Amino acid sequence: MISLIIPCFNEEESLPLFYPEATSVLRQMNCDYELIFVNDGSRDRTLEILKELSEKDPHVIYLSFSRNFGKEAAMYTFNKMWGVVTPEEAAAKIEEQRKEAGITEPKNLEEQAISLVGRDIYEKLIKGYTEKQWGRDCKDLPSFIIKRLPVRLTFDNNYFNALYQGIPVGGYTKMVANLLEGIEVRLSTDYLENKDELDAMAEKVVYTGPIDAYFDYKLGTLEYRSVRFETETLDKPNFQGNAAVNYTDRETPWTRIIEHKWFEFGKDEEGNDLPKTVISREFSSEWKPGDEPYYPVNDEKNGALYAEYKKLAEAETNVIFGGRLGEYKYYDMDQVIAAALDRCEKELH
């Protein structure tokens, strides 16, 4: 198998020339091959052309990023904040502020953040947003929450360090619908209320709900954060020009605004521009019974309680506990998919 990876940015003119030439050469090699096109936030017809090619040629695969991952962010932020222009100057400023704070071994999120980016950026960009998101003082949150975000002394604005970043074409809903094709799906059904009936249908159950709810909270209630969305359709083609904008100050009640159309480059399934836009304001709140839990609160107290629930879970030999709620663990999307694939490998082999 030959895999040819081709990055694309506004290539509508070159793709019709490149594709037949590349396929002609690969066919002459008499071996299996694939063309993997990586669309880096193109604003022309590149994505539309790639969709057409993939529909007619099974050798064509494409990945599409939600925006162009250009070359300005981390160092750009340090430059705007402090006026520094080199990585050495930025590192020296961070070290200066770390020493001023007297931090040697970070014990909480605040100390970890100051160690990573200095007090100025912590207070400007991290403190308000984090306390709004978690409903707790940064001193009371564990350091690992902020450790997952990379700090780079480069002009590289990728959110994470992963080589490939993006979302499924059509979104996760479409991806899950494809995965479940041909499988019976019951909506508006509470597993715990119908546990005996549903358990009888399978040799093993994959449970991704709250682990404490599974055991009827008999050891106590774990804490979660919930999220509320206020969604609005606006009679304009563009509200903020980006899929997600975070509001890092403490005063703004929402944590971020999502403008959904930019996950699909502002176009419908046929590639036409959308004249209206849908936005969702996201509000973080403390979970209470009746709310939907979103994030586990991984502090020391909840960690100790989860450890006891985990012992009970390990005794349930026919149940697989997974996901943020089932494992009471903060997962990013790529991590939870990897964890699911790893577990499948263990179960099926």
| 208-247 core/surface letters (b: 16 or more CB in 10 A; e: else) | bebbbbbeeeeeeebbbbbbeeeeeeeeeeebeeebbeeb
Active-site residue among 27, 43, 148, 343? 148
Active-site residue among 207, 256, 264, 327? 256
Identify whether 282 is a catalytic site residue.
yes
Identify whether 332 is a catalytic site residue.
yes
Alpha-carbon distance of 256 to 279, in angstroms, equals 10
Q: Residue ranges of the alpha helices (H) in 162-292?
A: 172-179, 195-199, 211-214
Residue 205 pairs in a beta bridge with 319
Alpha-carbon distance of 235 to 237, in angstroms, equals 7
Identify whether 148 is a catalytic site residue.
yes
Active-site residue among 282, 309, 324, 328? 282
Q: What are the tokens at 110?
A: 């605040």
Residues whose CB is less than 8 angstroms from the CB of residue 267 and which lie 6 or more positions away in sequence, other chains included: 47, 48, 261, 273, 274
Identify whether 256 is a catalytic site residue.
yes
Which amino acid makes up residue 277?
A: T
Active-site residue among 72, 332, 342, 347? 332
Active-site residue among 76, 247, 294, 330? 330
Identify whether 172 is a catalytic site residue.
no
Identify whether 45 is a catalytic site residue.
no
Identify whether 225 is a catalytic site residue.
yes
Active-site residue among 45, 136, 152, 281? 152
Active-site residue among 131, 225, 309, 328? 225
Look-up of token digits 């009371």 = 140
Among all residues, which ones are annotated catalytic?
A: 148, 152, 225, 256, 282, 330, 332
